[in-house]
Amino acid sequence: MKQYMLAVHSVEGEPTPSDDQRQILFAQVDRVNAELQAAGAWVFAGGLQPADTATVVRVEAGAATLTDGPFAETKEQLGGYFVVDCESLDEAIEAAGKLPTARHGSIEVRPLVER
C-alpha cells in the first residue's frame, strides 16, 4: 500500500469556530480516524498549533538563525496532517473528503516519497 499525507489547511481571517462548533468538528475527525483505523489505513495524524507559534530555522554559513513563523506569506496555513496507507490516490481522496476541513477549508492530498 502507498502512503499519502492529507494536509489540513486553515485560512487566515476565517471566523474561528466557537467551542461548541470545535467539539463537533473534533467528533467528526474522531469518526474518520476510527473508520481509517478499522480499515487498517490509519498511520498517524496530528493537529498543529496556530502558524504564529512557529519558529523558522535557517542555517547560513554554519550559524542558525531563528525567526518567528510562519515563513510562508500566505493566508492559508497548515493546520494538521494525517498519514494514511491506501491502495490508491482515489482511496486517499475519499478519506480526505470525509474530514470536516474539506467542507470548511481545504485538504491537500500528496503521496509520500517511497524509498
* Digitized pLDDT (tens) for each residue of the chain, 115 residues in all: 689 888 888 877 788 889 999 899 999 999 999 999 999 999 999 988 888 888 989 999 999 999 887 766 777 888 889 999 999 999 999 999 999 989 888 899 999 988 7
What total number of domains does the chain contain?
Answer: 1
3-state helix, strand, coil in the chain (%, to 5): 30, 40, 30
Distance CA 105, CA 53 (A): 20
pLDDT at 91: 93
Q: Which three cell numbers stand for residue 79?
A: 493546520
Domain hosting residue 61, numbered range: 2-111
CATH of residue 98's domain is 3.30.70.1060
Grid cell in block for residue 20: 461548541
